[in-house]
Amino acid sequence: MTEATRAGFVALIGEPNAGKSTLLNKMVGAKVSIVTHKVQTTRARIRGVCMSGASQIVFVDTPGIFRPRRRLDRAMVTAAWGGASDADIVVLLIEAHRGLTEGAKEIIAALKERAGEQPVALAINKIDKVKAEALLRLTEEMNGQYPFAKTFMISAERGHGVDDLREWLAGELPENPWYYPEDQIADLPMRNIAAEITREKLTLRLHEELPYQMTVETEKWEDRPDGSTRIDQLIYVVRDGHKGIVLGKGGETIKSISKSAREEMAEFLGRPVHLFLQVKVRANWLDDKERYTEMGLDFSDGD
């Protein structure tokens, strides 16, 4: 007899920068979510698809949960909780060296209020940064705060404990036919993944200057007869001064960003890529309904 197939959605929640995107990419085995040292970089609920035996795990990589200030912030937090409530299993990720922070306490309080039937697992990430005794104390403290179905000690970056977490998730999912083809790793269109890659390079290069006041849109995508792909993208910023920062002296910054993004896209797609970037000022993009739709966010959630 063949093993029954399982499939379901797993929401990764936690504070910004807890390692959710890194864990998703490690689980899936490819880069489907933006990973930077910046907080709040995951804007949409990006789904990565992971196969484990007869189980198909569909990961929902939610934006980090934080106290929102702007419309975009509010829409991101609503998306995060939406991802959690829609999932079959929730995984709360915390950083071992930060422990039970005020932010983590707020998330746990919200989990208690929203308590559904789905199990909630705890994943303590970055375990290589603390000693074993501290990990044990943190595990006891966290499980005293909430009845977690299971606790995992992991290093998402190095892969420690990730296989154990994957196997447990695979076994906990309900019996269902698979939602996606076996070889599909994400349900985001390639245009969106390409835009995320460029936005990551911008975020890494520009550091604190304007990480959350810009967005990237893939305007054109052309698969050429020679096997290469031409990608035209627009980078939207909110004011003229920001445009100069993105371009850099003599266009040096934008050239560096374009080269780095193009190389990663070529590796991801497995074919040569010709990338063309333009920077445009759109003062109100943070209040532009169309941009929210493209990012998979609900514009009305920011009200």
Average confidence score pLDDT of the chain: 78
134 with 42, same domain?
A: yes
Give the pLDDT confidence score for residue 116 in this predicted structure: 66
166 with 23, same domain?
A: yes
Greatest mean pLDDT among 19-33, 164-178, 239-253, 255-269 lies in: 164-178
Q: Are 27 and 102 in contact (CB under 8 A)?
A: no
Give the pLDDT confidence score for residue 178 in this predicted structure: 86
106 with 216, same domain?
A: no
Does residue 36 register a pLDDT over 50?
no
Q: Read off the tokens for 17.
A: 């920068």
Domain-embedded: residue 178: no
How buried is 61 (Cβ within 10 angstroms: 0-12 exposed, 13-18 middle, 19+ buried)? Answer: buried
What is the end-to-end Cα distance of the chain in Å, rounded?
53
Q: What confidence category does residue 184 fall into, taking pLDDT thresholds of 50, 70 and 90? A: low
pLDDT, greater one: 18 or 152: 152
Q: Are 156 and 19 in contact (CB under 8 A)?
A: yes
If we measure between CA atoms, which residue out of 130, 191, 117, 157 comes closest to residue 27? 157
DSSP for residue 208 = T
CATH of the domain at 93: 3.40.50.300
The pTM score is 0.58
Q: Are 210 and 228 in contact (CB under 8 A)?
A: no
Give the pLDDT confidence score for residue 155 in this predicted structure: 93
Q: Are 111 and 90 in contact (CB under 8 A)?
A: yes
